[in-house]
Amino acid sequence: MYSEGVSTSERLIESTRELLWERGYVGTSPKAILERAEAGQGSMYHHFKGKPDLALAAIRRTAEELRATAEGVLGGPGTPYERIEAYLRRERDVLRGCPIGRLTMDPDIIASDELRAPVDETLDRIRERIAGIVEEGKDQGQFAPSLDGEAIAATVLATVQGGYVLARASGSPAAFDAGVRGLLSLLAPDRPA
């Protein structure tokens, strides 16, 4: 499963990342992590204080990765509308859901300020980034001056996060795509009144 040269602590973090994405925090057991990482009980408690500590390391890395991915499209070329469209349409494994957003449904994550912090910060920063792009679009006359950047940014992010919910409920990415399509049709600069 794992090639030589990857450290045990590295394998533990990567396995935890996968399991948190698939099963959430409550649904992920140390035993499952150890099996996937091909590591023994002792290794985990040597490198990490326990399940919450290991999960924190995993969540931080996933959060960092998600922020980078988002910035990759939002900071790309194109008009404000095009960059938001690129964000909404970027390749996604829709049925797997959002590795960060899904954690908000985990009671133990929400109960812990430390575990919730990277989730909150990640979504918040992407939201701020989108809000700025909307304001940019207003300055350029691409979006109506009446639009509130912060509010539109929340709508964009919510459409994505909620799209995952609809898709997983139906077992098909179609509802996610429909939601994105609907939002883009409302947002389109040349939308008929």
Residues engaged in binding a copy of itself (CB under 8 A): 22-24, 26-27, 97-98, 101-102, 104-108, 110, 116, 119-120, 123-124, 127, 144-148, 150-166, 168-171, 175-176, 178-183, 185-187, 191-193
What, of a copy of itself, DNA, none, does residue 160 touch, CB below 5 to 8 Å by kind? a copy of itself
Are 184 and 113 in contact by the 8 Å Cβ rule? The answer is no
Q: What does residue 2 show for φ and ψ, rounded to 5 degrees?
A: -110, 135
What, of DNA, a copy of itself, none, does residue 105 touch, CB below 5 to 8 Å by kind? a copy of itself
C-alpha separations of 87 from 34, 68, 69, 115 in Å: 35, 12, 9, 26
CB of 141 to a copy of itself, least distance (A): 11
Are 99 and 62 in contact by the 8 Å Cβ rule? The answer is yes
Are 33 and 54 in contact by the 8 Å Cβ rule? The answer is yes
- Residue 43 touching DNA (CB under 7 A): yes
Residues making contact with DNA (CB under 7 A): 7-9, 28-32, 39-43, 45-47, 50-52
